[in-house]
A and B are shown apart, each in its own frame.
Chain A
């Protein structure tokens, strides 16, 4: 019988048959149905609730989904979830539309001879990909394969396991375009990748280039609000006045790229004036003498010239922090100046970690907290056999030895040189903005094999030969998501609605079938449900209970103030001086490094940052969120008023932004809320794939102006090392 036929239940009728009287009695016109049900769908039908997690950004906030007759009707942030604390942001609500989006990928795709995608069967896709993988492994070894995946519970596990099974260590995240330098720099100092500033209990917190109200995490913003109301002194160091200013006491405008100079000078003040915690430093650190000797040169006066912040302010901030210690910290940052933006990002991260160490704030109330975490224990090797550890070194580890997660962009460099021949992407839009998109697309499309797994056609998918359609996050359950915190927890993504498109598959099935097609299926002879149950059982949690509760806390592992962290550095101490950094070409102690470019004449440094309604490119195709963008004209570039007046540019004009890589036109917001030498563009826009009907052609994409170059030692994108000129259109 045709798979397309409508049948009477229990009878092989097909459309050649007829409907019996009972069936015909069930007929209702659309008008009658609409009157009866359509406007009453919240109260009509079977209501079920499911705890799951959002996918609108990296926070993965927990929510309760209310489903009526299989259709998602409502989301409410889970009180129990550590990131959500009962709230979702605009992205959390709106991103759910992705499940029913017109732009969903519905079938496996392959490019034909004309470079156009055509739907193919899963059998064909898997068979051809498997054959090409085996061919590459046979001719160039497994090290010629690379994977970039955006960290999600199942994706992280399955992507890494798949590559390990093939023998490749080349698994990367988006870190090189986000947090890589920060985590890597911090790790060199304290042995952990980051800390959480105890903002809510602090007397003072300095944020450098991070805005909790823009890169939104509900719980973090709540902490900031609580601190503000309690009288904590909150300082935002940023070239731009951000949405977080509502909860802050002070905006310290800074010349972009010079944050390192500010922090070095803060360190200089507290060391030369003996304001640091000498006992703490003596007990917990190595390399302080070398650090103190070096830091002496970075006077507030010197830093004032670099940063544009007056000397008095720098000194005052240092004094205030010293007075507030240990109930203070410089916040760790995220994708900001220490994350991936400058040639000195990694050094900035190191300097910040050293400053906090000088004040002895680690694990102190109101300070910088190294939260405990919990992860799955050892599993039954018979059921879940571990693939052998890949023998080869990760691509990029020679040139960028400090990168804790490796650099996906190093793999791109290797692909451009011919040593990486096959690229896999899971939910990663690398081409859309990790660095220059045109260059990245050219490299990816030139590989012998390129495969992208995603829910909609991203720039990365468009550059690949094969695209495999993922289910949306609402249509699949995933492995447990363990999270560190004041009380470590595990949260569950659980399937909310039925799969909308039957030819899409969840990530665990896709990688399992890819592994089978590549001849390494023996490492995937289990289901996701079996694995989830085993992972949770290894930490004493029942999987059904976890799915029912959404989030489970490990109260016995709770954080307590005042403990001395276990410094997981090579020396077992806080490292003011790092041998690894010296080996990578840096000074052993954090030292000033000039930015890679500096604006000259009428040039501006192009800076970018998030808006609270978008998460880079992944939410740009959402009609509801883009509606907000359009209503408030949020694609506009910001430039400083005095600079604009010199060029005859007024607020609301259209300007042409240009450099050697790209030229584009955009509306302009002329404001005093940005420093004179910078031009700001929001990071979510400028999507270039027509397949995304809502996002296509809206706004400018900052990465288009960026050259492909990487931060020495760390391998990050140096996303703000770019200058542009502007002129008024039709002037």
Chain B
């Protein structure tokens, strides 16, 4: 797959799940930029990701055809990406990936890992994510950076990191909110991409093992 296209997919996810910034969102949602994102999705689907291709064909990602305007994104985040409410779906990995004996809470192993990872790579996290380095915006941002730097490491990171999105999507789709499908679709793209990458890595490992035998 084209690493830059994957970087763009994660870049859009980063911008969508981070606290909305008016100018940045307007620039992202501009026709030319958003077309680039949709083209990237189509290209990835066509070239190497049958799961994503099926999703596109089924129409389940139609919510992505027209990006929400800034006010809709801001308002959705204000209702759902804030903590402590019945309709909260804060996109932080620690709140979704725990073993059955653990209570979901901020600052879990994924947060400590992401903090250590950023530190060991000489990266500085935005202050607003200092205590939630496993926020989807950070993880997506990290994926985008890695795809622009080393696609193999990026695939490794992505295949490890984003499996929690299945549970996050369940929480998103349960919301009583018309705009939720736009965010679900953004997640669906990543989940499909991750599945393809994991599948590809699995095949590569299997091939290597067969060759050794």
A interface residues with partner B (beta carbon < 8 Å):
2-9, 15-20, 22-24, 26-31, 33-34, 37-38, 41, 69, 71, 97, 100-107, 109, 116-120, 456-457, 469, 498-503, 623-624, 690-691, 694
B187 interfacial contact with A, CB 8 Å: no
Closest-by-CB residue of A relative to B137 is A4
15 A-B contact pairs sorted by A residue (CB < 8 Å): A4-B128, A4-B129, A9-B123, A18-B149, A19-B121, A27-B120, A30-B160, A33-B113, A34-B113, A106-B83, A106-B84, A117-B79, A457-B84, A457-B85, A498-B130
Contact A97 B107 (CB under 8 A): no
B95 pairs with A3, CB closer than 8 A: no
Cα separation A19 to B143 with both chains bound (whole Å): 11
Whether A18 lies near B145 (C-beta < 8 A) is yes
Do A502 and B130 touch (CB < 8 A)? yes
Nearest residue, chain B, Cβ from A117: B85
- B75 close to chain A: CB less than 8 A: yes
Interface size class of B (residues with CB under 8 A): 35 or more
B160 and chain A: residue at smallest CB distance = A30
Q: Which of B12-20, B30-38, B58-66, B190-198 lies at the interface?
A: B12-20
| Cα–Cα distance between A34 and B113 once the two chains are bound (Å) | 8
Please determine whether B78 and A3 come into contact, CB atoms closer than 8 angstroms: no
- List residues of chain A with CB within 8 A of the CB of B132: 500-501
Q: Is the CB of B83 within 8 A of A107?
A: yes
Nearest 3 CB-CB pairings of A with B: A106-B83, A26-B120, A4-B18
Q: With A4-B141, A691-B85 known to touch, is A102 a contact of B122 (CB < 8 Å)?
A: no
Minimal Cβ-Cβ distance residue in B for A27:
B153
Q: A502, A623, A694: which contacts B128 (Cβ < 8 A)?
A: A502
B116 at the interface (CB under 8 A from A): yes
Residues of the A chain whose Cβ atoms lie less than 8 Å from the Cβ of B207: none
Give me 11 other A-B pairs in contact (C-beta within 8 A), A16-B11, A24-B150, A29-B160 excluded. A4-B15, A6-B141, A15-B14, A17-B148, A23-B149, A27-B157, A29-B157, A33-B117, A101-B105, A109-B82, A456-B84
What distance in Å separates the Cβ of A99 from its nearest Cβ neighbour in chain B?
A: 8
Q: Give Cα A275–Cα B180 distance, bound, in whole angstroms.
A: 77
Docked pose: A20 CA to B150 CA in angstroms: 10
Q: Chain B, 121-148, contact with A by CB distance < 8 Å: what is the 0/1 string?
A: 1111111111110000110011011101
Closest chain B residue, CB of each to CB of A2: B24
- B100 in the interface, Cβ–Cβ < 8 Å? no
Q: Restricting to B48-102, which residues have a CB under 8 Å from any CB of A?
A: 75, 77-79, 81-88, 90, 95
B21 contacts A2, C-beta separation under 8 Å: yes
List of B residues within 8 angstroms of A8 by Cβ = 122-124
Q: Is B104 an interface residue (CB 8 A)?
A: yes
B149 contact from A19, A33, A503, Cβ within 8 A:
A19
Residues of B near any A CB (own CB < 8 A): 7, 11, 14-15, 18-19, 21, 24, 75, 77-79, 81-88, 90, 95, 103-107, 109-110, 112-113, 116-118, 120-132, 137-138, 141-142, 144-146, 148-150, 153, 156-157, 160-161
Residue of A nearest to B86 (CB): A690
Residue from the list B21, B82, B105 in contact with A100, Cβ < 8 A: B105
> Are the C-beta atoms of B78 and A120 separated by less than 8 Å?
yes
- A interface secondary structure, majority: loop
Question: CA A652 – CA B106 in complex, angstroms?
Answer: 37
In the assembled complex, how far is the CB of residue B207 from the closest CB belonging to chain A, in whole angstroms? 21
Q: Flag if B106 contacts A100 (CB, 8 Å).
A: yes
* B76 to chain A: closest residue by CB: A118
Q: Do B141 and A31 have beta carbons less than 8 Å apart?
A: no
User: Roughly how many angstroms separate A119 CA and B82 CA in the complex, as a whole number?
Assistant: 6
Residue of A nearest to B117 (CB): A28
B5 CB to closest chain A CB (Å) equals 14
- Give the complex CA separation of A7 and B106 in angstroms: 23
Q: In the complex, how many angstroms separate the beta carbon of A325 from the nearest chain B beta carbon?
A: 52
A15-B141, A104-B83 as given contacts; A37 in contact with B116, CB under 8 Å: yes
Q: Name which residue of chain B comes closest to A116, CB basis.
A: B79
Which one of B14, B86, B113 contacts A691 once the chains associate, using CB atoms below 8 Å?
A: B86
Are B84 and A103 in touch, CB under 8 angstroms?
Answer: yes
Docked complex Cα distance between A691 and B86 (Å): 5
Q: Would A102 and B104 be within 8 Å (CB), given that A6-B124, A116-B79 are in contact?
A: yes
Cross-chain contact A119 with B78 (CB below 8 angstroms): yes
Shortest B117–chain A CB gap in Å is 7
A15 vs chain B, min Cβ distance (A): 4
CB distance from A563 to the nearest CB of B (A): 51
A63 vs B29: C-alpha distance when bound (angstroms): 52
Residues of chain B lying within 8 A (CB to CB) of residue A19: 121-123, 145-146, 148-150
Contact check, A500 vs B86: say whether CB atoms are below 8 A apart: no
Distance in Å: Cβ of A72 to nearest Cβ of chain B: 9
A277 to B34, CA, bound (A): 90
Q: CA separation between A218 and B109, bound complex, in Å? A: 33
Residue numbers in B under 8 Å from A33 (CB-CB) = 113, 116-117
- Kindly state the separation between the CA atoms of A37 and B125 in the bound complex, as whole angstroms: 21
Question: Which residues on the A side are within 8 Å of B117 (C-beta)?
Answer: 26-28, 33
Which chain B residues lie closer than 8 Å to A28 at the CB level?
A: 116-117, 120
CA distance A477 to B185 in the complex (A): 43
CB B129 to nearest CB in A, in angstroms, measures: 8
If A4-B14, A4-B15 touch, whether A118 touches B79 (CB-CB below 8 Å) is: yes
**CB-based nearest A residue for B120:** A26
Contact A6 B126 (CB under 8 A): yes
Which residue of B18, B109, B141 is within 8 Å of A34 (Cβ)?
B109
Least Cβ distance of B186 to chain A in Å? 15
Contacts of B129 in A (CB 8 A): 4
Q: In the complex, A11 Cα to B116 Cα: how many Å?
A: 19
With A4-B21, A105-B83, A691-B85: A17-B145 Cβ-Cβ less than 8 Å: yes
Expressed in whole angstroms, the Cα–Cα distance for A496 and B86 within the complex equals 29
Interface contact A107-B82, CB-CB below 8 Å: yes
Complex CA gap A500/B95 in Å reads 14
CB–CB B87/A116 < 8 A: yes
List chain A residues, Cβ under 8 A from B127: 3, 502
Q: Are A6 and B122 in contact (CB under 8 A)?
A: no
Residues of B within 8 A of A38 (CB): 109, 112-113
* Pairwise interchain contact B148-A9, C-beta atoms closer than 8 A: no
The residues of B that contact A690 with a CB separation of less than 8 Å are 86
Question: What residues of chain B lie closer than 8 Å to A7, measured between beta carbons?
Answer: 123-124
Complex Cα gap A19–B137 (Å): 18
Contact of B144 among A2, A15, A119 (CB under 8 A): A15
B168 to chain A minimum Cβ distance, whole angstroms, is 13
With a cutoff of 8 Å between Cβ atoms, the chain B residues found around residue A6 in the complex are: 118, 123-126, 138, 141-142, 145
**Would B131 and A9 count as touching, CB distance under 8 A?**
no
Expressed in whole angstroms, the Cα–Cα distance for A109 and B87 within the complex equals 13
- Residue in B7, B88, B126 whose CB lies within 8 Å of A3: B126
* Residues of B close to A2: CB separation below 8 A: 15, 18, 21, 24, 126
A69 to B128, CA, bound (A): 19
Q: Nearest Cβ distance between residue B33 and chain A, in whole angstroms?
A: 12
Residues of chain B contacted by A34 (CB below 8 angstroms): 109, 113
Asked whether, in the complex, the Cβ of A103 is within 8 Å of the Cβ of B83, the reply is yes
Whole-angstrom distance from the CB of A38 to the nearest CB of chain B? 5
Residues of the A chain whose Cβ atoms lie less than 8 Å from the Cβ of B138: 6
Which of A15, A29, A37, A38 lies at the interface centre, i.e. has the most chain B CB atoms within 10 A of its CB?
Answer: A15
Q: Is the CB of A104 within 8 A of B122?
A: no
Could you tell me if A623 and B86 are in contact, using CB atoms closer than 8 angstroms? no
- Report Cα–Cα, A556/B91, bound state, in Å: 55
Residue among A4, A27, A100, A102 with most chain B CB within 10 A: A4
A336–B138 alpha-carbon span in the complex (Å): 51
Given A4-B14, A4-B18, verify A100-B84 contact (CB < 8 Å).
Answer: no
User: Which A residues are CB-close (under 8 A) to B137?
Assistant: 4
Residues of the B chain whose Cβ atoms lie less than 8 Å from the Cβ of A457: 84-85
CB A623 to nearest CB in B, in angstroms, measures 4
Check A16–B116 contact: CB distance below 8 A: no
Q: How far is the CB of A104 from chain B (nearest CB, A)?
A: 5
